[in-house]
Amino acid sequence: MFAARKLVLAHFWVAFVAFGAAILLGEWQMLVRSPMVGWVSNPEHYYRSVTFHGVVMAYVLPTLVAMAFGYAVCELALKRPLVGLKWAWIGFWLVIAGVVLAAIPMATGYASVLYTFYPPMIAHATFYIGVVLVVVGSWVWVGLMHVNLRAWQRENPGAAIPLAMFGTLAGAYLWAWTSLGAAIEVLVLILPVALGLKGTIDAGLARVFFSWTLHAIVYFWLMPAYIAFYTIVPRAIGGRLYSDTMGRVAFVLFLVFSMPIGIHHLFGDPQVGAGFKFVHAAMTALVSVPTLLTVFTITASVEIAARLRGGQGLFAWVKALPWKEPAMLAVAFSFVMLGFGGAGGIINMSYQMNETIHNTQWVTGHFHLIFAGAIVIMYFVIAYDLWPQLVRGVSLPAKLVRTQLWLWFVGMMVLTMPWHLVGLLGMPRRMAYFDYSNPALQSQAWTVTASTIGGLMLVVSAVLFIYILATARRNVAEPAPYSFARSLHPDDPVPAGLNGFALWIGMMVALTVVNYGFPIAQLASVKESSVPAIHMGRP
Amino acid sequence: MGRGVFWSIVTLAALTLVTVAIGFLWLPSAHADFTAKGVWDMICRAAGVPEKWGDGAAAKPAARSTQVVLDASMARAGPADAGGRGASLALAQCTMCHGPQGMTQSNAPNLAGQYSDVIVKQLLDYKQGDRASSIMQSLAAALAERDVTDIAAYYASLPKPRNTPVQDMDKVPALVKTGDPIRNIAPCAACHGGIERKLGTPWLEGMPREYLAQQLGAFASGERRNDSHKQMRNVARGMTPAEISEVSDFYARQAHE
């Protein structure tokens, strides 16, 4: 790596230290909700903790990891120093300033709005200003990704954009467009109320704007993991990427379809029409296509590695895989969690089936399994894979790394499967305590204990992860040169449409206008829809 | 334009049209709620266009004055568990407008510390249709007699918002401290506290300014008429808009607890 080494390290460390703190809060939440201890004496403390856990895990961790990975990919894939290093540091400090600013009202109980920004709950203005700074910092990253690609293209006219960089750009453009919804919500609707200029807020419109961001943000979190699937895993296990084109197709499909589907989070909201709910549900179904393409392509790539190592037979090749390689273990765990989580997701997005699990513990189980499971385990792989470049030539303790990944996988399954089960039985999410002495609930008590044990395994895994990274010392003069996975047919030409973004960004914007234009215009024009704001931390 | 680009766009457009047709024509056509008023209305409903509601019919001024007879028992604290039961009811039905603990940034009245006899009287008036409000009438209609006293006990138990004490009596509006006998306007403080507090009259300190001004206007015009023996109508009718504004400002001054 060239110029961005310290920059990438700084992003990673802030992300992982915050992650370490937030996971402790998550486990505390499980513990106080379980039948093992008495009820939390002040439920507000519980929601304060949920807010902190959610803000760190959903905004701080993935944003910083995506930024760090993007900067690293920029240098490693384009093979040139990062353009605009100074700007990148400004972006980083904006994110840090935002996090600190938002943390103050969160810690003092003036921002216990959870991490979903759903009015009429209103936090202290500094919370929103902090979040806006984080987003602006990430926009600097978006701009830099774009500028670096252009600079490289000027030097290499007509050349195929490396797949890792192509995916990074898809993620950056997706984030730029999707963060706009929450930005409008915060700047136009929430901040005037938080600053005391207005006493009422259009909660229905705000929720629609938030849904604009809320679902596609998941694909922004997911992009680094998918880039790792395509460009790190095949190389790490000694195989070849089965199809470079398939990777590009998956990335552009995410760009087009992840954005205009957020209303599937609002199936229970009366202010949105049933027609739009159906259209969003149908298009949510389409976003499973790039994931299915990816699972197929990566499984094929893995099979190539197995056959290169002498694997035989229809399925017996699985035994020939390098199971001691952390990337191999992680991708297998990731796919298992993606499988369960994806199947659950299809239930969430179905307009009718959603009724059974809407706002239950099932939903919490779903997004922990997909994001904290399938995606975050790939963040670990990314960190482990880049660490020798970042701290210069180090080999990580492989056994400890495997233990960490095993603990994360088993812990996540033990945490989330009971949540899915009780969600089906109707346990609501976001509850500070349950009365287990009630005969109707008593039979569900064990599931909360089980999840607490799963959470404890995740805490141990997180501690191991940070320990492994922190104790890595420089022990070789120079790291081995970094490379991304080679595809099976590296000389195949890349289709012109898949070597640029204009068409796909055009489709993304057009679909957004079709799917969001009318609901937003209609809600904005209804005058009677504002409700009194409820300020957190005030009487 | 390349063939790939062309077909990508055609496919996406076709896909969008098909899902829109299913969502706005086919699925709603299967339900009587959607098809009741023709195809265009059905599409509008699927798009989420709201029906007109609150067209004024529900907010028609009540024809008669109040039926509630004020009784000293309304002001007494109920059994010990009344406040707790009232808190549960309030949490489910009142907090949205009146704030999580009876204090709100909106222009709905603050209820924290309000006298129980006031809340009982107003809820009964809403319930019997003698005070107009499409929201409050429908909420109050569902309340049993005990619910009403429980909610009142809960709000009465919360701390009252208090204005900054006035050091200089000259700054208190004349209508508040002395009224205007020649116009038959009694001093506000004679019933609402300060000089004396009468059964059924609300605590006003810290109330939203808009709410106070609006209610005085409604008393003056006769739109609101649930005051026993026209007590407030007679007072408000004599007040000028400037005086209404002045006393509203006075009672709505920044509240201190």
pLDDT at B257 over 60: no
- Considering the domain architecture, whether residues B149 and B102 belong to the same structural domain is answered as yes
Return the pLDDT at B68. 87
Q: Any catalytic annotation for residue A429?
A: yes
> Do the domain assignments include residue B103?
yes
| Helices (H), ranges, A162-262 | 163-184, 191-194, 203-214, 216-231, 233-236, 244-257
| Helices (H), ranges, A34-162 | 43-55, 61-78, 85-107, 125-155
Q: Any catalytic annotation for residue A219?
A: yes
Over residues A482-511, the pLDDT tens digits come to 999 999 988 888 988 899 999 999 999 999
Would you call A533 and B105 a contact, using CB atoms and an 8 Å cutoff?
A: yes
> Do the domain assignments include residue B55?
no
Q: Any catalytic annotation for residue A358?
A: no
Residues of A in contact with B20 (CB under 8 A): 275, 279, 514
Return the pLDDT at A516. 96
> Do the domain assignments include residue B185?
yes
> In whole angstroms, what is the distance from residue B226 CA to residue A480 CA?
86
Place of tokens 């509630």: B68
Question: Could you tell me how many residues make up chain A?
Answer: 539
Nearest chain A residue (CA) to B3: A497
Beta bridge partners of A241: A487
pLDDT at B61 over 80: no
- Considering the domain architecture, whether residues B167 and B143 belong to the same structural domain is answered as no
Give the CA dihedral B29, A350, A282, B42, nearest 10 degrees: 20
Number of domains in chain B: 3
Nearest to A199 among B4, B50, B105 (CB): B105
Of the candidates A409, A328, A397, the one whose C-alpha atom is nearest the C-alpha of residue A373 is: A409
Q: Any catalytic annotation for residue A430?
A: yes
Q: Of A48, A248, A264, A368, which one is the catalytic site residue?
A: A368
> How far does A532 lie from chain B, in Å, by closest CA?
5
Would you call B48 and A496 a contact, using CB atoms and an 8 Å cutoff?
A: no
CA angle A214, A168, A406 (to 5 degrees): 75
Return the pLDDT at B33. 83
Place of tokens 């999580």: B100
What count of Cα atoms within 13 Å lies in the side-chain half-sphere of residue B62? 21
Q: Of A117, A251, A367, A379, which one is the catalytic site residue?
A: A367
Give yes or no for A192 touching B (CB within 8 A): no
Query: Per CATH, which fold does A5-433+442-474+498-526 belong to?
Result: Cytochrome C Oxidase; Chain A (1.20.210)
Q: Any catalytic annotation for residue A229?
A: no
Over residues A356-414, the pLDDT tens digits come to 999 999 999 999 999 999 999 999 999 999 999 998 877 899 999 999 999 999 999 99
Q: Of A5, A358, A429, A486, which one is the catalytic site residue?
A: A429
Mean pLDDT of chain A: 94
Q: What is the 3-state secondary structure (H, E, C) of A11-23?
A: HHHHHHHHHHHHH
Average pLDDT in the A220-246 region? 96
Mean pLDDT of chain B: 88
Give yes or no for A37 touching B (CB within 8 A): no
At a CB cut-off of 8 Å and minimum separation 6, what does B53 contact?
Answer: none
Q: What is the domain range of residue B17?
A: 3-47
> Do the domain assignments include residue B58?
no
Over residues B237-255, the pLDDT tens digits come to 999 999 999 999 999 886 5
Return the pLDDT at B256. 44
Of the pLDDT bands very low, low, confident and very high (cuts 50, 70, 90), residue A222 is: very high
Describe the crossing of helices A163-184 and A244-257 by its angle, rounded to 10 degrees.
10
Give yes or no for A428 touching B (CB within 8 A): no
Residue B155's CB is within 10 A of a number of other CB atoms, namely 24
Would you call B23 and A274 a contact, using CB atoms and an 8 Å cutoff?
A: yes
Give yes or no for A435 touching B (CB within 8 A): no
Nearest to A497 among B5, B23, B43 (CB): B5
Strand, helix or coil for residue B2: coil
> Do the domain assignments include residue B54?
no
Q: To the nearest whole percent, how much of chain A has pLDDT over 70?
A: 99
Would you call A279 and B19 a contact, using CB atoms and an 8 Å cutoff?
A: yes
> Do the domain assignments include residue B23?
yes
Nearest chain B residue (CA) to A497: B5
Q: Any catalytic annotation for residue A240?
A: no
> In whole angstroms, what is the distance from residue B108 CA to residue B115 CA?
17
> Do the domain assignments include residue B249?
yes
Return the pLDDT at B178. 87
Burial class (CB in 10 A: 0-12, 13-18, 19+), A316: exposed
- Considering the domain architecture, whether residues B79 and B144 belong to the same structural domain is answered as yes
Residues of B in contact with A535 (CB under 8 A): 105
Place of tokens 């201190």: B256
Q: Of A219, A371, A379, A434, which one is the catalytic site residue?
A: A219
Give ipTM to 2 decimals: 0.85
Chain A interface disruption, residue of B15, B27, B43, B106, most A CBs within 10 A: B106
Over residues A155-176, the pLDDT tens digits come to 999 899 999 999 999 999 999 9
pLDDT at A346 over 70: yes
pLDDT at B57 over 60: no
Identify the CATH number of the domain in which residue B141 sits: 1.10.760.10
Q: Of A248, A366, A420, A535, which one is the catalytic site residue?
A: A366
Interface residues of chain B, partner chain A, Cβ below 8 Å:
2, 4-5, 8-9, 12, 15-16, 19-20, 22-24, 27-28, 34, 43, 45-50, 54, 95-97, 99-101, 103-108, 112, 257
- CA B143 to chain centroid, in Å, comes to 16
Would you call B45 and A274 a contact, using CB atoms and an 8 Å cutoff?
A: yes
In chain A, domain spans: 5-433+442-474+498-526
